[in-house]
Amino acid sequence: MPIEPIAKILFIVVVMVVGIAPLITWIERKQSAVMQDRIGANRADLAGITILGLLHPAADVIKLMTKEDVVPDGANRVLHLLSPLIAAVPAIIAFAIIPFGGVYQFGDTTLNLVGADIDWGLLYIFAIGSIAAYGTILAGWSSNNNWSMLGGLRASAQMISYEVVMGLTVVGVFMVFETLRLTDMAIAQDTSFRIFGFLNLYFGVDGWWIEHIRLPAWGIFYQPLGFLMFLTAIMAENKRPPFDIPEGESEIIAGYHLEYSGMRFGLFFMSEFIGIIIIAALTATIFLGGWVVPYWSTADIIDLISPFMGVGFATGFCILIHFSTFLLKVFFMIWVQMLLRWSLPRFRYDQVMSLCWKILLPLSIANIFVTGFILLLVKG
């Protein structure tokens, strides 16, 4: 049995899913507390010790585990039991292609810090996302409850619509980086570009400032509009507020997971939070340069360290820096989502739909055209 894949899988499951996902529930609470000027989650204590309420996730888990698992009458038992899994599993396996670091050389062995380095990574994400829709829909339908049904309906409509937009918004990035492989994308962003380069290219202007005023070659700088739209679309795909109409408490009590309790409800819960992490990781990788340290490319790091410590150590150090950078960016994106989640009110259903079809779709197509035009200009 190869050791590397197992290690990666273990890492993903233990660190990402079991580790960070509960942490995020805490972050969310704290965030809300901060924004609502409360103290927030701080009651759960172990012998009087409340580590900033960090025990709450554990408490939640225990509560969910121990709750009774109800299947309502007239519900389709199989699907009702199945759908939480259908919702959770795709969210977890989506981690498989997230690069937590670059590709490193230790002598003749190469270390590639990604679960599965497949050539069509982003498409994989989309496929997974499209499967994930079923969990919600089936949950809504199988609960034999009108509210859930409505939730499922809304979910299906919303997720189909936003899949389209999500796909179209990143096409610009494909065009810029000319790859779908997330690893290559991150590597491609491990550099920087001259802001005023076009002056030199087309108007023959030159001067030291043209060479030295640079931006990291991140997707967000190449595709600002794409970034915003992608974030919107994928957050809507995750059915989080302000896009949580499938479970709008005020309208359809809890929507699709109304009839769920115990750990099955917990799975939906989990899958949402894992979704948050996935979103953060994806946006970080595609638009924020993944593990890349701005203005300090891998080569530079290794060149800087290796004279003193040797190449091997330098590479290890590099890995450390890159991984922490990546985590930093991921947490930043998570924080951004929390911010949005607590600051924006819930959209109305028709607003969500028209936002998707009437605003995002045309904008993203226009974005594609403009990108292609500029690329033609630059690359000829």
Partner 1 sequence: MTVETILFYVFGTLAVVSALGMVLNIRNTVASAMNLVVTMVSLAAIYLLLEAYLVAVIQIMVYGGAIVVLFLFVVMLLNLSTDEFPPGKQRVVKLAVAIACVAILTQVVIALDRDPLLAAQPGAVPEGFGGYRQVGLSLYTDYVLLVEMASLLLLAAIVGALILAKRKID
Listed ranges 93-101, 138-146, 279-287, 370-378: which one lies at the site for partner 1 (CB under 8 A): 138-146
- Tell me: does residue 357 bind partner 1 (CB under 8 A): no
Number of residues lying near partner 1 (CB under 8 A)? 28
Nearer to partner 1, 75 or 338 (CB): 75
CA–CA separation, 361 and 271 (whole Å): 27
Site for partner 1 in 72-91 (CB under 8 A): 76, 79
Q: Residue count of the chain, please give it.
A: 380
Q: List CB contacts of 320: < 8 A, sequence separation 6 or more.
A: none
Helices (H), the chain: 3-11, 21-35, 56-66, 77-93, 121-142, 146-177, 182-188, 197-203, 208-212, 219-222, 224-237, 262-287, 298-309, 311-343, 349-354, 361-379
CA–CA separation, 53 and 45 (whole Å): 7
Closest CB 260 distance from partner 1, rounded Å: 18
- Tell me: does residue 133 bind partner 1 (CB under 8 A): yes
Q: Name the DSSP letter for residue 348.
A: P
Nearer to partner 1, 141 or 326 (CB): 141
Among 12, 24, 138, 274, binds partner 1 (CB under 8 A): 138
Site map 92..131 versus partner 1, x via CB under 8 A: ---------------------------xx--xx-xx-xxx
Q: In this structure, are residues 68 and 262 in contact, taking their beta carbons and an 8 Å threshold?
A: yes
Site for partner 1 in 210-229 (CB under 8 A): none
Nearer to partner 1, 135 or 290 (CB): 135
Closest CB 323 distance from partner 1, rounded Å: 29
- Cα distances from 13 to residues 26, 95, 277, 379, in angstroms, run 19, 9, 13, 42
CA–CA separation, 368 and 129 (whole Å): 22
Taking alpha carbons only, the member of 134, 346, 160, 153 closest to residue 255 is 153
Closest CB 147 distance from partner 1, rounded Å: 13
Closest CB 82 distance from partner 1, rounded Å: 9
Nearer to partner 1, 120 or 193 (CB): 120
Site for partner 1 in 142-161 (CB under 8 A): 142, 149, 152-153, 156-157, 159-160
Sign of CA dihedral 62, 65, 66, 67: positive
- Tell me: does residue 180 bind partner 1 (CB under 8 A): yes
State the residue for tokens 């929507």. 255
Listed ranges 21-29, 60-68, 133-141, 329-337: which one lies at the site for partner 1 (CB under 8 A): 133-141
Q: 362: how many CB neighbours lie within 10 A of its CB?
A: 11
Nearer to partner 1, 149 or 267 (CB): 149
Q: Write the burial class of residue 138 (CB in 10 Å: 0-12 exposed, 13-18 middle, 19+ buried).
A: buried
Site for partner 1 in 241-300 (CB under 8 A): none
Closest CB 154 distance from partner 1, rounded Å: 10
- Tell me: does residue 163 bind partner 1 (CB under 8 A): yes
Q: 156: how many CB neighbours lie within 10 A of its CB?
A: 19
Distance of CA 118 to the CA centre of its chain: 18
Judged by the rule CB under 8 A, the positions of this chain that interact with partner 1 are 76, 79, 119-120, 123-124, 126-127, 129-131, 133-134, 137-138, 140-142, 149, 152-153, 156-157, 159-160, 163, 167, 180
